[in-house]
Amino acid sequence: MCFGVQLSGQANRLAAFVSKRAALVELGIGASVKSRLLLNALPRLGAYVPVDISESFLASAGAQIADAYCRLEVVPVPGDFTECLSFPRRIEEMERVAFFPGSTVGNLKDDEAAQLLARVRSWHGIRGFILGADLVKDEGLLLAAYDDAQGVTAAFNLNLLARLNGEADAEFDLDRFAHRAVWNARRSGLSRSSENLQSAPILRVIHAAPCFRGKVDDYPRFS
């Protein structure tokens, strides 16, 4: 069952952990589908504080929430939740409950996740942490999801290379790459890669540095 479906059945129970007039701090707003499920069960919330690394996306998603919940104070906070976040003083002074649904925590390395939890725990006024975590699913099902027949994930990954070409002066020949999803049993996770077709090694796009400069051959490969 997907997290959204589970959350809709549990929203009232989770809402009991959030006191009236507290601030709900969501780490990574995404499509805000889960946010809305919880917000619907919190009519007396003090403030909704979505945090996201993408400032422009956050501004537009936050504005949509503010339109839909006109009595709710929405305070978007741009920032990287793996670093120290800076909140407006009035939010710092409120009771806060962190909301991190959808198993986004699974995208972090173990030490990053532990640091994030410790950091949130040190926030002034923190009263709770609603954390979503996925169960291990069937490998075949996950591979089919991340190597979908419509090629959506493949197009997403190759687009990263195209963006690196356009925005970081990289020189990837996109025709030389194909999408590959790999199940990592030890970490119970999937990595998505674009595989260089002409020379077997794989360039793991998801680990490409934002300051990327140069040609494919200048950069480390993972076999």
Q: Given the rule CB under 6 A, which residues bind ligand SAM?
A: 26, 28-31, 33-34, 51-54, 80-82, 101-102, 104
Cβ atoms 26, 97 nearer than 8 A: no
CB of residue 86 vs ligand SAM: minimum separation in angstroms?
13
Q: What residues contact residue 200 under an 8 Å CB cut-off, 6+ apart?
A: 223
Segment 88-93 long-range contacts (CB within 8 Å, at least 24 positions apart): 91/23, 91/25, 91/47, 91/49, 92/124, 92/125, 93/124, 93/125
| Comparison of 85 and 202: residue with beta carbon closer to ligand SAM | 85
CB of residue 66 vs ligand SAM: minimum separation in angstroms?
17
Q: How far is CA 108 from the centre of its chain?
A: 9
| Comparison of 52 and 195: residue with beta carbon closer to ligand SAM | 52
* The pair of three-digit structure tokens given for residue 81, joined into one six-digit string: 């939740």
Angle (CA) 124-33-109 rounded to 5° is 55
| Comparison of 32 and 176: residue with beta carbon closer to ligand SAM | 32
C-alpha dist (Å) from residue 87 to 92, 123, 157:
6, 10, 33
| Comparison of 115 and 188: residue with beta carbon closer to ligand SAM | 115
CB of residue 149 vs ligand SAM: minimum separation in angstroms?
22
CB of residue 84 vs ligand SAM: minimum separation in angstroms?
12
Beta strand pairing call for 177-184 and 189-196: antiparallel
| Comparison of 26 and 195: residue with beta carbon closer to ligand SAM | 26
CB of residue 173 vs ligand SAM: minimum separation in angstroms?
29
